[in-house]
Amino acid sequence: MDLNLRENIGIKDAITYNVIKATSDVAISEIAEMMTQNNISSVVIEDEKGKGIVTTNNIISKVVSKNISPKDITADMVMEDYVSISPNTSLAEASTTMIKNKCKVVLVIEDEQLKGLLTLTDIVRVSPELIELFMEGQDIDDKYYEHRNYDDDEAIDEGVCENCGAYDTLRKYDGQYVCSECIDEELDE
């Protein structure tokens, strides 16, 4: 594929430097709340027990889809090893690394220190032509949504339910973003 890319476009303008971190003993409900408050899709886990990353996909596939309460699961139970790149990596190389590792976020590490993180969204924001690489080389999580039916006008937001604190798909109901269980309970009363 010929995208007419300059191979030397670096990642420094695309990196998120203010990385949100937590320790491995933090409950997934708290991780989900951090994600919602900061409008992010991943939290880096770092402590003496280990290092990793928790993403919204981890939470959906390992907690929500199994109907496990996010209050009962800690970050170390769902975190995955992270993929890393150096700050001198080009955008094209970072994109290729994401595709090869089937991930949407990589950590930027230099001298064993976390310098920031880079997401698919960051790359496309800085260099939109790279989206073609991802469209050809990566399955973009259609598996989760393909079996679900939603009305066109129905707002679908993932986050922490304002009523019960569960991480789930949310709907606006009576001025709050709540999960379907809380809506059902409210309608039953």
Q: What is the pLDDT of residues 83-126, one digit of tens each?
A: 999 999 988 888 889 888 988 899 999 998 999 999 988 888 87
Question: In sequence order, what are the residues at sequence separation of 6 or more whose Cβ sits closer than 8 angstroms to the Cβ of residue 158?
Answer: 56, 60, 167, 168, 169, 170
pLDDT tens for each residue of 115-169: 999 998 888 887 776 666 555 544 433 433 343 343 333 444 566 777 777 767 7
> What is the pTM for the complete model shown?
0.64
Question: In sequence order, what are the residues at sequence separation of 6 or more whose Cβ sits closer than 8 angstroms to the Cβ of residue 58?
Answer: 78, 79, 80
Q: State the DSSP H helix or E strand holding residue 110, giving kind and residue range, or none if neither.
A: strand 105-110
